[in-house]
Structure formats: structure tokens, C-alpha cells
Structure 1
Amino acid sequence: MSAAETDLGRGDWADPEVGMVPLGEYAATWIEERPELAVRTVELYRGLLRLHIEPYIGHVMLAQLTPARVRTWRKELLDAGASSSTMAKAYRLLKAVMNTAHLDDELVKANPCRIRGAGKEDAPERPIATIGQALTAADEIKPRYRLMVFLATFASLRFAEMIGLQRGDFDLVKGVVHVRRQAIQTNGGKILVTDPKSEAGKRRVTVPPFVV
């Protein structure tokens, strides 16, 4: 009995022709078919695919992408100067793409991304400004941006949330700011106004009296 017949009898057989799709082509479609992704996330994924996946293994067929080839790709990328943070992001994207190819589309028998800890990202902790430094920044920045420094410091608003604020979002009687949207600038310079990242992002934020 052949190996194919054995696999067929166990229910493990997969048509090798089904997975003969270039990884780069499949990954590009994978990104396009996820409208729920945030604009910045789509840009990140496209950049990772274009710079760190496509040039190295984009031509490899899904069915021919083995754990050994994934390990080689990771080493090649690190040797080329990719940071550990970039490498982790690229690996997580590849693993997610191959997970869909395996579990949803059934194009491959198993996910070849099996490097333990490869997707873990240990970003250094960012320094936090003191109140004094924030007040100094508010004094030195252009007057039109002064309120943004206060809202970031004392209301914990994100940059995109502050850019998305409109006059009707401010209740100066109650000292409340309504966060209803965010404005994001794409890599191409276009401004997109969207909902916050989650429903929890739509909220009322109380600000100190001196900010009012």
C-alpha cells in the first residue's frame, strides 16, 4: 500500500495540487479579505508582506512551505538587519496567514510556523513624562496645539482621538469631552475619520477644571 493510500485510509490525505498557490499571492488576498482590520493594521501588514515576506518566500507554494524553510526565512531576515520587533510582527503575520490556509481553506496539512517564542515581541518600556515636563511642553508648543498636550496628559486621550474631536464633543459646563471618533493619517497622507478601535473607545472623559 502506498503512503498516499495509507493517508487516505486514515483521513490524513490532502491533494498536493490544492496548495500550489504562491504564498505572496495568497497573503495579499488574505489581507484584502479582512475589512474589519484597522487602516494602520492593513498598512502594517502590507508593508511586512512587501518588505519582509514577499522578497524571501513569496514565491514558495503554500504546500511547499515547511518548518525548515520558515526557520531559514527567519534567520535570513535577522541576518539582513531586521529588528527583533519587526521579525516578531512578520512572523505573527505569516503564522496567521498559514493558520487560515490550514484550518479554514484546507490548502495545507499543517501550519509550518512552529518556532517557539518567535512571535513574542519584547518592546522596551517607553519613558513617561512628568507633570512638569508636560506643562513645559504646553508652554512651548504653538498655542493652537496647547489643548492637545493637556488632553493627552490629563485625559489620557490618544493622538488619533484628539485629532478627531469636534466642537460639539466638548461640554464645558460639565467639564466633559465626548470621544466619538478618531482621525488617522495614512502613509499616503490621506486623513480617514473612523470609529474608535472598539466600542469601549467611545466614552465620556472628565477633564480638570483648569483644562476647561
Structure 2
Amino acid sequence: MGNKKGNRRRFGAVRQYRSGRWTASYLGPDAHECRSPETFATKRDAEVWLSQIEADLTRGDWQNPDVGAVNFKVYALQWVHERGLSATTEELYRRLLRLHILPTFEGWDVDEITAPRVRTWRAERLATTGAATTVAKSYRLLKAVMETAVDDELIRRNPCRIKGAGKESATERQIATVAQVDALANAIGPRWRLMVYLGAFGPMRPEEQAELRRKDVDLEAMTIRVRMAAPELTNGRRAPGDTKSDAGKRLVVLPAFLRTDLRRHLDWYAEKGPDGLLFVGEKGKPFRRSTFGRKWRRARGVVGMPDGFRFYDLRHTGHTLATRSGATLKDTMVRAGQSSEKAALIYQHSDLERQQEVAGGLDELVRAERQKAAKEADGKPSGADLVQGA
């Protein structure tokens, strides 16, 4: 369709098509002609658009309109590849992209993803999946990718600007009693009994326990050195590597009541040699999440724990018990291998001596709870009952 007439201005030019619509163009700093991405209903609208471009050039805010013409799928996958992520995090990001982000945005260029389109996408995901936590994770990932696009000067502003959209409102973690932890350890069987105790009283992540070696255990000092982790991906592949964060590399001081369980496990089940794995299956194979999961669900049913109680919830139990035994927030962070820059600046240092004190307090608390449960099981009156009957 040809031009009907044109109008040269001090900056740029506007032209009218035979359809009656107007277009605008100008020469960029690189002397290449740039055209308006859309047509305008009136000449004045086209001139206003040119005035905005001229103002951007004057302020130094101008951006080549062709820069953002990068396919989002290509850019996002490259973004994941370049991050140097752990195997589990990379797997999570690729799954979120594949299932929740790319079906909407894979055919668009980066600069075509606008704030209204992000709002529409999020609303559709919430309505379709009903999984607010997954949508929040997906939103945070999209926002991170687009923030890098801002840094790369592909777009001027991040289109992910929905307040609170990336926050997760997780339900309160369930806490087991000492008696329930003991019951779970008994129900899961002698080979995996120590894993339950290390999950609660370590408290160690299952992927950290999966990579523990004999050389990491000091039975005399009652310590375990966490050096690495071996998470299991959804395809069943073990992915040995670094811990979740630098704080995950730590020396865990165990409460003394675990000495017998730790010694028996080393004697009966751990692989031989200093590099032998601490936890192996009946056939001598490394720990497998899928196999252990079946045993965990059976044990949970025997004990009568709710289906929602996960192995990871043992860590929350350990946090709570350690706090009750006198541990500070920093103590529990060090013990559990959690990192928080803000907390590290606010809370006091927690050294080995303090960790030994925490383990000692945890030892006393658990022993007291066990003695109380034993008395109640035997039908013996408590001290308070004796006083009241006197």
C-alpha cells in the first residue's frame, strides 16, 4: 500500500497511507532508519510518538527498537544454561519453563512480553492449575529472566511488576514429637533407622545423607562432616555435587544418645573403607529416593502419621527441638546448613563449642521425653501426681 502524502519535520517524518492511517520514521544514532512499530489514527498521534523518541534520544534513554527482537524461548534456555546451576535447580527451572512459561511465551520476542501479557498469563496459570506455589515459582523465574534482559539492554523495564506475585504462602510445617520420631525410626527398619534420626536431630537433608562417607564420621567426637550432596533427579539419576549452599558444608555435632545407633550402623550397614557410603541399600547400591520413599510411607502409616508428613519435615522438628533446648536462630542455621546474609549480619557467631552445647541440650531434652513416655507407658504416676496425693 503506497503513501498518500508525507510531511518532513525537524526530527523524523510522518506519512499517511491510503487507508488513512499514519506512520512515523526517524534516523537513529547509527544512521539507520527506524519506523514506528504500529500505525496511528491521526497525524498528531504520530507526531507525539516522534516527540517521545526525540526526548529519549536527548536524555540518552533511546533504545534500538530491533534490539529486543530476540526469541524468548532461545533467550530463556540460554539464560538457564549460563547460570551454572545445581542439577536439581536446573531441572526445576527447565520443568517450570516447559510446563508453565514457554507454552505462552515461546513464540514471542523478548520485547513483546508486556506487563498486561504477564498479568494475563499469571491469571490463566492460577485458574488452570490451582497451584499457587508453582505459579509463584514460575513467576519468579520469568521475572529473573526478564531482569537479565533489562541488564542486557534488550528491554527498558521488567514487565513482571505484580506486587506479591512471587511470594509463596506455604502451609505451616508439621512437627513430630520425640516419641513419633522414635516410632518412625523403629518402623522403617534397622538399615534406615539412623537416617531418620539424622534427619530429625542432625538435622540433615536426605541428599546430604545420601553422600555421607565413613571418613565423615567421628564416633568418638560424635560429629559428622557434611561435604557434598547427591540429590536424585526425576529421571532417577544421582547428581553428586556441592551442597545446597556454602553453609551446607558443615560439621554437625550429634547428641550423645545417638552414639549406639551410629556405632551399630557403621558396624552393620555402611560400606567398607574410608570412602564407603554411610547409607546403601540391601543390595549394596547407593541410597535411592524412590526405594526409600516406599519404606518411609509404610513407616508413616504404621506410626499413624498424616500422609502430608514428609521426610523433610523431620528437619523442622529438629529446628523446633533445638530451639527448645536453648539454641539461637544462628545456632539452628549453622546446624541445619542454612544461609541467610541478613541473619548472618544480625545474629551472633555460633562456633563449635556452642554447637556442642546445643547438642548437649538436645540430648537432655530427648532423654527426658523418652523417660516421661516410658513412665506413662508403664502406668507409673508422675512426680506431680505424687505431690498431689501426698
1:157 matches 2:204? yes
| Residue identity in the other structure for 2:66 | E
* Secondary structure class of the residue paired with 1:185: coil
Residue of structure 1 in register with 2:95 after alignment: 47
Residue of structure 2 in register with 1:17 after alignment: 66
Q: Is the 8 A contact 1:134 1:149 kept in 2?
A: yes
- Shift of residue 78 of structure 1? 1.3
1:98 matches 2:146? yes
Deviations, residues 48-73 of structure 1 (Å, cap 9, x unaligned): 10010100122121111111111111
- Where do 4+ consecutive residues of structure 1 move more than 3 Å? none
Residue of structure 2 in register with 1:181 after alignment: 228
| Residue identity in the other structure for 1:54 | L
Q: CA separation in 2, counterparts of 1:139 and 1:42?
A: 36
- Shift of residue 194 of structure 1? 1.2
Of 78, 83, 90, the residue aligned with 1:29 is 78
Q: Is the 8 A contact 1:181 1:194 kept in 2?
A: yes
Q: Is the 8 A contact 1:23 1:58 kept in 2?
A: yes
Q: CA separation in 1, counterparts of 2:159 and 2:246?
A: 35
TM-score (norm 1): 0.94
The unaligned stretches of length 5 or more in structure 2 are 1-10, 12-49, 260-390
TM-score (norm 2): 0.52
Matches within 5 A, 1:69-148: 69-103=117-151, 105-148=152-195
* Secondary structure class of the residue paired with 1:144: coil
Deviations, residues 33-88 of structure 1 (Å, cap 9, x unaligned): 011x2221111110110010100122121111111111111111112124111111
Q: Percent identical across equivalent pairs?
A: 49
* Secondary structure class of the residue paired with 1:177: strand
* Secondary structure class of the residue paired with 1:193: coil
1:171 matches 2:218? yes
- Shift of residue 133 of structure 1? 0.6
Q: Which moved more, 1:13-22 or 1:193-202?
A: 193-202
User: How much is the aligned-residue C-alpha RMSD, in angstroms?
Assistant: 1.3
| Residue identity in the other structure for 1:19 | G
Of 234, 239, 245, the residue aligned with 1:192 is 239
- Shift of residue 28 of structure 1? 0.8
Q: CA separation in 2, counterparts of 1:164 and 1:61?
A: 43
Residue of structure 2 in register with 1:210 after alignment: 257
Q: CA separation in 2, counterparts of 1:7 and 1:202?
A: 50
Q: CA separation in 2, counterparts of 1:180 and 1:86?
A: 30
- Shift of residue 22 of structure 1? 1.7
The unaligned stretches of length 5 or more in structure 1 are none
Q: Which moved more, 1:172-181 or 1:193-202?
A: 193-202
Q: Is the 8 A contact 1:179 1:204 kept in 2?
A: yes
Q: CA separation in 1, counterparts of 2:171 and 2:124?
A: 24
Deviations, residues 139-171 of structure 1 (Å, cap 9, x unaligned): 111221011011112221111111111111111
Q: CA separation in 1, counterparts of 2:145 and 2:232?
A: 26
Deviations, residues 77-121 of structure 1 (Å, cap 9, x unaligned): 112124111111111011110000002x10011111111111111
Q: CA separation in 2, counterparts of 1:130 and 1:141?
A: 17
Q: CA separation in 2, counterparts of 1:129 and 1:173?
A: 29
Q: CA separation in 2, counterparts of 1:186 and 1:119?
A: 25
Residue of structure 2 in register with 1:4 after alignment: 53
1:201 matches 2:248? yes
Q: Is the 8 A contact 1:24 1:53 kept in 2?
A: no
Classify 1:57/1:43 alpha carbon distance in 2 versus 1 (closer, same or farther; 3 Å).
Answer: same
Deviations, residues 180-202 of structure 1 (Å, cap 9, x unaligned): 11111112211121122223222
| Residue identity in the other structure for 1:175 | M
